[in-house]
């Protein structure tokens, strides 16, 4: 069995196991939610898992557009990974159905007798679903044309396609920024509708960009010993990608601290309680873990050139960052008030449900990855990469 067949067999095996694991985990969570009458807790867990895995898809889409717009050679080695991540969007949208069904259990503003004292012109169920459909269509069209033209480039090698990539990516990044800002407000900030942050959308953009780089580095490290990567990917590729991941770590930390500093120094009655809930009932230890493992430790490690040039070490840092992105979502979503408590808690479903959604997502991702060559061989910029990286 040659290297290509071995990789195909391995991908098939991982895809099958991921799908089985994902469906089994989701079935256990649904059964547990009904058996123990914890539907609300399940919906909170499901929302965290959905936002986390959708965030990787959207981060891949945004980084893909960034690469096309800048023409950076760093993006050519992970382009298929980014395209496959963005290609999961149509099926990932189906995973939104439980969120839509459980809308009244998740969001207090969605019921007629819900939370009072805010503008119902914006926060109402029909307008919420209309905006969500618009987000989904916008992201799907961007991913669809970028992948479609990439397939045409594989077949024809037409250099004029580079102009198309740049044209759609410029406007696409603007559209992505606007839509993810409103989507983050709709899906997460509105869990506590009396609280607001003017940089909330920027926070989610940086999180998704960081998640996309971390995920791409981890996948590239797994595939680096297989052809065509084995004769192409060098330590300098991991150095470039590690440097960009480091930049997003700093950007995320800057935006997060800016939000905290502005709200805490303002000491406003409707804003401070958001942080007070996350500084009590044990959540403060989760916040400290986020500071250490999502900023301080990666910051110190990624400052070192030797770590970024070592495939295994930079991939290990990427996996830690990816895991802490999920923990950060726990810290953001779960402490929000519920019908029974002023501060939400943690349950076993908060672990199992994201695993279930992740199993399905990974199976879809691998299916997309197998559809095309692992390198964009007919991209004219690819010929410059070996000379550039030595």
Domain spans in the chain, listed from the N-terminal domain onward: 7-111+119-382
Q: What is the DSSP string of 255-308?
A: HHHHHHHHHHHHT-TTTHHHHHHHTSTTHHHHHHHHHIIIIIHHHHHHT-HHHH
Calculate what percentage of the chain has a pLDDT beyond 90. 62
Question: How high is the pLDDT of residue 273?
Answer: 87
| Burial annotation 32-56 (CB, 10 A radius, 16+ → b, else e) | bbeeeebebbbbbbbbbbbbbbbbb
Residue range 366-375, pLDDT digits in tens: 999 998 888 8
Query: Residue 356 pLDDT more than 60?
Result: yes
Question: How high is the pLDDT of residue 282?
Answer: 87
What rounded mean pLDDT belongs to the chain? Answer: 89
Question: How high is the pLDDT of residue 157?
Answer: 81
Comparing 41-50, 153-162, 207-216, the range with the smallest average pLDDT is 153-162
Query: Residue 322 pLDDT more than 70?
Result: yes
Calculate what percentage of the chain has a pLDDT beyond 70. 93
Question: How high is the pLDDT of residue 339?
Answer: 63
Chain centre distance of CA 10: 25
Question: How high is the pLDDT of residue 113?
Answer: 61
Question: How high is the pLDDT of residue 358?
Answer: 96
Q: How far apart are alpha carbons 233 and 238 in whole angstroms?
A: 8
Question: How high is the pLDDT of residue 390?
Answer: 41
Question: How high is the pLDDT of residue 309?
Answer: 93
Q: What is the DSSP letter of 118?
A: S
Question: How high is the pLDDT of residue 124?
Answer: 87
Query: Residue 173 pLDDT more than 80?
Result: yes
User: What's the pLDDT band for 346 if we cut at 50, 70, 90?
Assistant: confident
- Number of residues that make up the chain: 390
- The residue among 364 and 117 whose pLDDT is bigger is 364
Query: Residue 210 pLDDT more than 70?
Result: yes
Q: How far apart are alpha carbons 44 and 339 in whole angstroms?
A: 12
Range 68-90 average pLDDT: 91
Question: How high is the pLDDT of residue 169?
Answer: 94
Query: Residue 247 pLDDT more than 90?
Result: yes
Query: Residue 389 pLDDT more than 50?
Result: no
- The residue among 384 and 285 whose pLDDT is bigger is 285
User: What's the pLDDT band for 35 if we cut at 50, 70, 90?
Assistant: confident
Question: How high is the pLDDT of residue 3?
Answer: 62
User: What's the pLDDT band for 291 if we cut at 50, 70, 90?
Assistant: very high
What is this structure's pTM?
0.94
Question: How high is the pLDDT of residue 367?
Answer: 95
Q: How far apart are alpha carbons 279 and 341 in whole angstroms?
A: 16
Question: How high is the pLDDT of residue 362?
Answer: 97
Chain centre distance of CA 371: 22
Range 240-258 average pLDDT: 95
Query: Residue 261 pLDDT more than 80?
Result: yes
Taking alpha carbons only, the member of 287, 299, 203 closest to residue 246 is: 299
Range 90-105 average pLDDT: 91
Question: How high is the pLDDT of residue 385?
Answer: 62
Residue range 128-141, pLDDT digits in tens: 999 999 999 999 99
Range 49-64 average pLDDT: 97
């Amino acid at each position: 069995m040659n290297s290509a067949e071995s990789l195909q067999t391995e991908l098939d095996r991982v895809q099958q196991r991921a799908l089985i694991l994902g469906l089994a985990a989701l079935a256990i969570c649904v059964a547990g939610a009904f058996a123990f009458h914890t539907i609300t807790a399940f919906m909170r867990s499901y929302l965290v898992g959905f936002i986390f895995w959708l965030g990787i898809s959207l981060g891949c889409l945004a980084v893909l557009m960034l690469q096309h717009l800048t023409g950076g050679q760093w993006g050519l080695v992970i382009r298929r990974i980014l395209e496959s991540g963005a290609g999961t969007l149509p099926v990932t949208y189906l995973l939104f159905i439980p969120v839509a069904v459980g809308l009244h259990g998740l969001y207090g503003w969605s019921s007629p007798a819900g939370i009072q004292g805010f503008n119902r012109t914006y926060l109402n169920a029909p307008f919420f679903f209309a905006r969500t459909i618009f987000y989904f269509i916008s992201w799907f069209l961007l991913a669809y044309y970028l992948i479609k033209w990439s397939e045409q480039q594989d077949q024809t090698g037409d250099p004029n396609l580079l102009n198309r990539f740049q044209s759609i990516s410029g406007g696409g990044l603007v559209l992505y920024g606007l839509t993810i800002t409103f989507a983050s407000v709709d899906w997460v900030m509105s869990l506590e509708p009396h609280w607001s942050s003017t940089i909330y959308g920027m926070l989610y953009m940086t999180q998704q960009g960081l998640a996309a780089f971390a995920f791409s580095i981890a996948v590239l490290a797994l595939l680096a010993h297989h052809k065509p990567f084995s004769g192409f990917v060098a330590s300098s590729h991991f150095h470039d990608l590690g440097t960009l991941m480091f930049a997003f770590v700093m950007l995320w930390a800057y935006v997060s601290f800016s939000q905290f500093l502005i709200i805490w120094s303002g000491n406003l009655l409707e804003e401070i309680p958001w942080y007070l809930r996350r500084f009590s009932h044990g959540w403060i230890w989760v916040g400290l873990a986020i500071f250490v493992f999502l900023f301080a430790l990666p910051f110190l490690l990624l400052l070192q050139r030797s770590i970024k040039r070592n495939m295994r070490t930079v991939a290990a840092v990427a996996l830690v960052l990816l895991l802490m992105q999920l923990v950060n979502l726990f810290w953001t979503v779960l402490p929000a008030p519920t019908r029974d408590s002023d501060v939400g808690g943690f349950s076993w479903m908060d672990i199992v449900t994201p695993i279930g959604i992740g199993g399905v997502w990974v199976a879809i991702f691998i299916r997309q990855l197998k559809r095309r060559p692992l390198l964009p061989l007919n991209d004219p910029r690819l010929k410059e990469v070996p000379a550039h990286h030595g």
